Amino acid sequence: MNRRAVGVTAACALVLAAVGGYLWRARGADDPNAALALSGNVDVHQVELALRVTGRISQLNVQEGDKVSAGETLGQLDRVPFATDVAAGKADVAQAQAQLDKTERGYRVEEIAQARATVAQRAADLDNARVTLQRQQQLVAGGLVTHQQIDDAQARVRQSEAQLAVARDQLTLELRGSRIEDIETQKALLAAAEARLEKAQTALSDATLLAPSAGIISVRAREVGAIVQAGQTVYTLTLNDPVWIRAYVPQPRLGRIKPGMAVTVSIDSMPGRHYDGTVGFISPDAEFTPKTVQTDQVRDDLVFRIRVIASDPDNVFRQGMPVTVRVPAAQRPALARNH
């Protein structure tokens, strides 16, 4: 075979290979069960960590780039003002509790005995005043007692009667104990004191800044000695475990994606490395292809946003990093055998 024939044969083979490859890709693109390669971006979540109370920072334990675990102490305000408020609150509660106990127990035995003695004394005074009045009334006919003396004796009798009535009322009150209204008032005062104490204890607890979850400190916004207001950012915590990835699925391929489906994630900076992921969310709303999404066919088309939760054992994912999410091909159902 001459060289010209060999060249023609090779050219024909290349054309056939190109046509076959195109047909294979076209068939794969139209095949609803074929594997999918979705473009997306890393969507790292961040938390602005702040204190709920105002105070002076006395301690900061971590720096930018440090890994922290959930519940780890990151910083501390000066505790002295908050501890003082707690001590004052405890004293108020103790005072209110003592007053309530006193009101509920009523009068002591000694106080009741004293009230009984007062009643007896006032009764004796009344008897004496009546005897004196009676004697002076007998002497008034003989001119031995003036009418003024009679009037004074009668006044002493009325005064003694009034004092006896007051003493008896006081004894009755002490025997009955405290009124329900007084007890309820003391209970309300105790509840208010307990609420103030709980508020002070909460403020003392809030003076310690804890990590809400595991992550990496990306920003340290304050330093020791600074006065911070409630709500001012002290740290920015990046939540890197798990990593959330935002990707988009074309509408014709939406039926291939199910929540909980296992996928793999790859990035340009780690060629050949694949990270495990799981589809965690499929948006119920359709949208047009965002400009940040790169697809083989750049056109306006309806897509659905999905969220992929991926593991990052190498700590390589960064906010906004482009990634490729690969969905494995669907398993074809086995053909039924004819018997």
Q: Is residue 139 part of a domain?
A: yes
- For the record, the structure tokens of 39 come out as 């473009």
CATH number at 228 reads 2.40.50.100
- Is the CB of residue 303 less than 8 Å from the CB of residue 285? no
139: Cβ contacts below 8 Å, ≥ 6 apart:
145
| Per-residue model confidence (pLDDT) at position 306 | 85
CATH number at 253 reads 2.40.30.170
Rg (C-alpha) for the chain, rounded Å, is 46
User: Backbone phi, then psi, for 252, in 5-degree steps?
Assistant: -65, -20
Q: Is residue 24 part of a domain?
A: no
Percent of the chain as helix, strand, coil, to the nearest 5: 45, 25, 30
DSSP string, 4-28: HHHHHHHHHHHHHHHHHHHHHHHHH
Output the average pLDDT for the chain: 81
Q: Are residues 167 and 275 part of one domain?
A: no
Q: Are residues 140 and 165 part of one domain?
A: yes
Residue 211 has pLDDT above 50, yes or no: yes
Residue 16 has pLDDT above 70, yes or no: no
Q: Are residues 106 and 150 part of one domain?
A: yes
325-339 pLDDT, tens digit each: 888 887 665 544 444
For residues 248 and 239, give the distance between their C-alpha atoms in angstroms, rounded to a whole number: 22
Lowest mean pLDDT among 8-12, 121-125, 293-297, 317-321: 8-12
- Is the CB of residue 130 less than 8 Å from the CB of residue 158? no
Q: Is residue 8 part of a domain?
A: no
Q: Is residue 6 part of a domain?
A: no
Q: Are residues 163 and 254 part of one domain?
A: no
Q: Are residues 250 and 153 part of one domain?
A: no
Q: State the total domains in the chain.
A: 3
Residue 291 has pLDDT above 70, yes or no: no
- For the record, the structure tokens of 26 come out as 């076209």
| Per-residue model confidence (pLDDT) at position 303 | 78
Place of tokens 């790292």: 44
How big is the chain, counted in residues? 339
* C-alpha torsion sign, points 74, 77, 78, 79: negative
17: Cβ contacts below 8 Å, ≥ 6 apart:
none
Q: Are residues 245 and 234 part of one domain?
A: no
Residue 24 has pLDDT above 50, yes or no: no
pTM: 0.60
| Per-residue model confidence (pLDDT) at position 275 | 87
Helix 80-105 and helix 180-206, axial crossing angle in degrees, nearest 10? 160
Lowest mean pLDDT among 44-48, 273-277, 297-301, 320-324: 297-301
Q: Is residue 9 part of a domain?
A: no
184: containing domain: 85-202
For residues 231 and 333, give the distance between their C-alpha atoms in angstroms, rounded to a whole number: 57
Q: Are residues 71 and 98 part of one domain?
A: no
- Is the CB of residue 214 less than 8 Å from the CB of residue 66? no
Residue 319 has pLDDT above 60, yes or no: yes
Please compute the mean of the pLDDT values over residues 41-49 and round it to a whole number. Answer: 88
Nearest Cα residue to 303 out of 315, 311, 292: 292
Q: Are residues 215 and 71 part of one domain?
A: yes
Tell me the percentage of the chain whose pLDDT exceeds 90. Answer: 32
Residue 178 has pLDDT above 80, yes or no: no
Q: How confident is the model at residue 31 (pLDDT cuts 50, 70, 90)?
A: low
211: Cβ contacts below 8 Å, ≥ 6 apart:
49, 68, 69, 70, 71, 72, 74, 237
Q: Are residues 171 and 106 part of one domain?
A: yes
- Is the CB of residue 327 less than 8 Å from the CB of residue 256? yes
Q: Is residue 337 part of a domain?
A: no
Q: Is residue 102 part of a domain?
A: yes
Q: Is residue 174 part of a domain?
A: yes
- Is the CB of residue 42 less than 8 Å from the CB of residue 319? yes
Q: Which of 142, 175, 202 is the last residue of a domain?
A: 202
Q: Are residues 215 and 198 part of one domain?
A: no
Q: Are residues 192 and 90 part of one domain?
A: yes
Q: Are residues 232 and 276 part of one domain?
A: no
Q: Which of 194, 217, 239 is the last residue of a domain?
A: 239
